[in-house]
Amino acid sequence: MNLNDIRAHYDAEQRIDAPIVGMRRARGDHTVRLIANSIGRGVVIHSDLTSDNADDAIAAELDFFRGEPGITHLEWKLFDYDAPLDLNERLEAHGFTVGEPEAICVLDLAHLPDRLRQQPTHDIRRITDPTGIADVIAVKTDVYPDDAAVGADGWFAVMLADNLRVAPEMIRLYVAYVDGIPVSTAWMDIIPGSAFAGLWGGSTRAAYRGRGIYTDLIAVRAAAAIAAGARYLTIDASPMSRPIVEKHGFQFMAWTWACETAL
């Protein structure tokens, strides 16, 4: 697996051209923007900058999103290979807060390890009706009690509901249950015809960790990705999830940071 080739393919499909459910894509002079007016969020998902134009481009993005109706929050998705090399410092100088690093890891589905080929041993159900999002939120609010975004009235629930209604073929949302209690959740984004499927949102209540539930959720999504014709799985892995996914064959591809600011 040539990681440089995969990274270039990933940028082309997932950062530059891929449609995102519930978000309008727009190109700036040096950027690709995602705009979700309904939930008040904007994202700069890709940039092609130099040390000479970076500061002007950052200022232009802030001006653009401040002019978008209802947008109150902007995220600049920064990758460790994005130029210029001091882009994180420049974003901070313009008022962005640089978040904790996450490792983007990739798995070639042609070489799926045996553990991920096994049938799940836990009760894992796909959520296809927006009413089922309540179980997702129950898990999320337990794992992240201080995050207003994941509460019942936060933008996270609105985003998932919109995705299920507008493009159900592009999202696979799952909840794992123990004795009927929702204990873990995760989802997968997949664009028809894309080589990549993205794993997101893996969260497990503390009392139920270490039982293989998270691994079963990866296996279920890997099977769904293969059935949909994807070649690779990617994940923005937190420090907690990275050792698990690397144990199952994922390889490190890049560091990424969510750089955020209120508008």
For the chain, 263 residues long, give each residue's pLDDT as a single digit of tens.
Answer: 688 899 999 999 999 987 777 789 999 999 999 999 888 999 999 999 999 999 999 999 999 999 999 999 999 999 999 999 999 999 999 999 999 999 999 999 999 999 999 999 999 999 999 999 999 999 999 999 988 788 777 888 888 888 899 888 889 999 999 999 999 999 999 988 889 999 998 999 999 999 999 999 999 999 999 999 999 999 999 888 899 899 999 999 999 999 999 99
* 197 in the same domain as 149: yes
Neighbouring CB atoms inside 10 A of 97's CB total: 12
* 218 in the same domain as 155: yes
* 94 in the same domain as 130: no
Q: What is the pTM of this model?
A: 0.89
pLDDT reported for residue 193: 86
> Number of folded domains in the chain?
2
Domain-ending residue, one of 101, 136, 154: 101
* 83 in the same domain as 152: no
Beta-bridged to residue 23, according to DSSP, are: 20
Domain-ending residue, one of 85, 101, 117: 101
85 in a structural domain: yes
* 133 in the same domain as 65: no
CA nearest neighbour of 261 among 69, 103, 81, 63: 63
pLDDT reported for residue 1: 64
Domain-ending residue, one of 101, 120, 146: 101
* 181 in the same domain as 70: no
* 169 in the same domain as 248: yes
CA distance 31 to 28: 5
* 127 in the same domain as 96: no
* 97 in the same domain as 12: yes
pLDDT reported for residue 93: 98
262 in a structural domain: no
CA distance 21 to 191: 10
148 in a structural domain: yes
* 111 in the same domain as 97: no
* 130 in the same domain as 210: yes
**Range of 221's domain?**
107-253
